[in-house]
Amino acid sequence: MRKRNARRLLFTVFTLTDAIGATAGFVAAYFLRFNLGILEVTKTYRPADYLFFLPVGLAIWLFWLDRMGCYDFRDRAFNQQILRRISLAGFFAMMTIVAWHFFERNLQFSRLMYPVALVGTIIGVAGSRLLLDRVLARLRRTRRIAGTPVLILGTNPMALNLAQRIRSHAYLGLSVVGLVPVTPHHAEDNLDGFPLLGDFANIRSTIRAHNVEEVIIAQPDLSPPEILDFMLECEKELVDTRVVPNLLESMVEEMRMEQIDGIPLFGLRESPLQGWSLFFKRAMDIGVSAIVLVVLSPILLLIALAVKLGSPGPVFYKQRRVGIDGTRFNMIKFRSMQAGAENESGPVMAKPTDPRVTPVGRLLRRTNLDELPQFFNVLRGDMSLVGPRPERPHFVKEFRESIPRYMGRHRVKSGMTGWAQVHGLRGNTAIDERIKFDLYYIENWTLWLDMKILLMTLRARENAY
């Protein structure tokens, strides 16, 4: 959760920095074109057109910066690679703007303004990013911004070299809390001041004890199966794992690569649901859920009345579920079972002929109408329209130990519907099969995939009971 909040803060800072830089570049280009007398003006242009265009142009710029990977916070705020991405984003943004102006005939825009604005905004964004990079580097070096707590597996020269590089490059935003030995370690060995923590077999307790958010595997003699098992153990604590290369062999196609001061690292593939993608997904969640709640309000009232008259007890049923980053929230449903159905049995999975289900509840379950109140959860931000279905804490505790990569599904918000559900994997179906679909969704997310799942949900009725 701390890492996710830090990324959100960085995203906000980067976005504001880019918006200020692009605005400054555009204003400078405007004055260069029309007010300094360097470039001849042969026609009369309305300043209001340019003022109206500015927020639209900013939105287009920020969109392409996100598409070009300028909000990957594993990188610096600015370097040569980021400059290339900014330049590409500027080119695509300008092409988008030119296409928009082609169809918007009411705007009077100087053609010479396009190349001048392109150069000006690229310089503005690059300059603001360079300044931000220097500020962040200074804050990290002086420890005014805490680094991400990192644990390094290994006590060999490669692991020690990596730890030293991280320590000497504080601007990376990482902080090594210690090294974890794989084999018995000799106390007299020189670890350059890095503490020795825990051991290979009990990595999860070490992670919890030191609030670790990332683990880097730098042990060359581990086999690929050992590495994978270790990474899956770390994932149960919702921490990221990275691997120094030449250790993975056949697993590389499932990995993503990053760098720390020139040292390449591999890790389990993360979701593309970051940066502006989160904004667009959240905007869709709010818009759709608000519209649905307003349009369906008469139906919601009728269902509430039917539940109340159908059996004694409350209209709504609130159940504790586990969501993003392992946080817990109350998921709301129309009550479909007898009041107090689990008082004696405890948490159990529903069955097709479950005697606890009321007559009204059985109809609601078969038509999925019992889940309509979850639009309130979506509107409040507990859930999303699309994502892995949230599970109860009792089952999460059980599955995280027995199902590989189970906790990986908690890296995004839980959903009212999901990729697994529209393929019939709901109710009392195989958990390991559901996980495969959930992880596919997380690692291959697009806004189009969300819309596709929502459309498929309208006809998905398998295993609804």
Q: Mark which of 83, 118, 141 sits at the end of a domain.
A: 141
pLDDT averaged over every residue in the chain: 82
Residues with Cβ < 8 Å from 359, sequence gap 6 or more?
310
Split at pLDDT 50, 70, 90, the class of 251 is: very low
Structural contact between residues 437 and 423, judged by C-beta atoms closer than 8 angstroms? yes
Q: Is the pTM of this model over 0.75?
A: no
Q: Looking at the domain assignment, is residue 462 inside a domain?
A: no
Can you give the pLDDT at residue 336? 86
More confident residue, 351 or 124: 124
- Report the share of the chain in percent with pLDDT over 90: 31
pLDDT one-digit tens code per residue, 276-295: 888 889 999 999 999 999 99
pLDDT of residue 262: 60
Q: What is the amino acid identity at position 210?
A: H
Say if residue 64 is in the same domain as residue 155.
Answer: no
Range of the domain at 292: 276-341+348-457
Residues 307 and 427 in one domain: yes
- Max mean pLDDT range (182-191, 336-345, 416-425): 416-425
Task: Identify whether residues 399 and 302 lie together within a single domain.
Answer: yes
pLDDT 10s digits, 196-238: 998 888 899 999 999 998 999 998 788 888 888 898 889 889 8
**Which burial class, exposed, middle or buried, applies to 372 when counting CB atoms under 10 A from its CB (0-12, 13-18, 19+)?**
buried
Judge whether 230 and 198 are in contact, CB under 8 Å.
no
Secondary structure element (H or E) that encloses residue 329, with its range:
strand 328-334
Measure the CA–CA gap between 81 and 83, rounded to whole angstroms. 5
Cα–Cα distance between 226 and 221 in angstroms, integer? 10
Report the domain count for the chain: 3
Q: Tell me, yes or no, whether 35 lies in a domain.
A: yes
Q: Quickly count: other Cβ atoms within 10 Å of residue 4's Cβ.
A: 15
Decide if pLDDT at 89 tops 90: yes
Confidence class for position 446, pLDDT limits 50, 70, 90: confident
Same domain, 119 and 179: no
Do both 34 and 62 map to the same domain? yes
Which candidate, 423, 461, 433, 428, places its Cα nearest to that of 350?
428
pLDDT at residue 465 in the model? 46
For residue 312, tell me if it sits in a domain.
Answer: yes
Give the pLDDT score at 313: 85
CATH of the domain at 263: 3.40.50.720
* Token code pair at residue 222: 């581990």
Find the mean pLDDT for residues 25-32: 87
Classify residue 463: in a domain, yes or no.
no
Final residue belonging to a domain, choices 268, 299, 319: 268
Whether residue 252 is predicted with pLDDT greater than 50 in this model: the reply is no
Residues 334 and 309 occupy one common structural domain: yes
Q: Does one domain contain both 156 and 226? A: yes
* Residues 405 and 440 both lie in one domain: yes
Asked if residue 101 belongs to a domain, the reply is yes
Q: Do 68 and 200 lie in a common domain? A: no
**Quick one: 252 and 366 in the same domain?**
no
Assess if residue 464 is contained within a domain.
Answer: no
pLDDT of residue 215: 94
Q: Last residue of a domain, which of 141, 165, 180?
A: 141
Q: Are both 307 and 385 inside the same structural domain?
A: yes
- Are 298 and 440 in the same domain? yes
